[in-house]
Amino acid sequence: MIFIQKHTEDPDISVYKEKRWNGSSGKTTLAARDLEKAIAHYADPINFNNNKKLTRKKFKYEAYSHKDTKKALNEIFKSKCAYCESFIMHIEPGDIEHFRPKAEIHSKTGEVLIPGYYWLGADWNNLLLSCIKCNRSNNEAINIANGAVQNMGKANHFPLFDESKRIRSHTNNIKIEDAFVAIINPCVDEPNDHLVFEDNGQVRPIDSKGENSIEVYGLFRADLVLKRSMVARDLNSTLITLTIAVQLLESSSANGLPIEDNLFLLEIQKEALYSCFQEDAEYLGLKRQKLARFKAQNPFSYQKLIDLSIDLNRFL
Ligand SMILES: [Zn+2]
């Protein structure tokens, strides 16, 4: 997981900017109409009261599922899951994820609160892109060898550190709750402050927010751990080969031998490394931490790469 710079102002798309949908008092934006209708539906005590759904009527949001909203999110998240950083668009449509769940809320203690954050169903700052495995409740393997599974996936989970601070109505200021959110929002928090990605693919928490996030997003599911370990291994190979290429170059230069082949090898490995860290590459959180460990453990090799104009610092 990495921090994603997502602008907080509404995107410049019709859903949020064009008043061409019918609201109660004339033409309005699709997002504004969703909000108006959601409040009318969910805040009516005839429909919902005392944590109970009393109506059989269903509510359908339209703004967040609009193709233009999804396109805008795809561009910001580079078609990767906000939580696990897996590239998703080539194998599944991808979920528009509500960080604060809209229909109901599962607290840290397992309490079910109904309705959820209904007024944030179309709120741009509540929307992320997620893969099915992080977003939906499902049994996932936690041990490939023995077949053990565990139910995980964020679904309606939204733990707070202090349940008494939870906001339950559109009439209250949601920002009051922000300081008590007990899971990482990659568009608000710096995941590096909460999670450590190990070379073996495991992820471990730095604090309780990290611990909750690993649990809620299922970042420890076995297939994902395996994939991260493969990525770490590939990056390790690239870094080692780069280091060897530098040594060969130095040796050839010192002995007055031709250096063309060494320079060629160095250039190829440099490009391989740069490719690993492209914006749309998977598992950048793991890769950045791995590179930082390489720098700490191999300061002389690292500096030699910098001296050869291989700009590693920009990836940290
Ligand atoms: Zn995911």
In tens, the pLDDT along 260-288 reads 999 999 999 999 999 999 999 999 999 99
| Ligand 1 centroid to residue 13 C-alpha, Å | 26
Residue range 186-203: average pLDDT? 97
| Ligand 1 centroid to residue 94 C-alpha, Å | 9
**Nearest partner of 183 among 232, 132, 134, judged by Cα:** 134
| Ligand 1 centroid to residue 225 C-alpha, Å | 12
Residue range 91-105: average pLDDT? 93
Residue 139, pLDDT score = 86
| Ligand 1 centroid to residue 304 C-alpha, Å | 36
Whether 65 shows a pLDDT value over 90: the answer reads yes
Neighbouring residues of the ion ligand 1, judged by CB less than 5 Å: 81, 83-84, 131, 134
The DSSP 8-state label assigned to residue 29 in this structure reads -
Do strands 48-49 and 52-53 pair parallel, antiparallel, or not at all (unpaired)? antiparallel
The span from the CA of 240 to the CA of 34, in Å, is 54
| Ligand 1 centroid to residue 45 C-alpha, Å | 36
| Ligand 1 centroid to residue 31 C-alpha, Å | 26
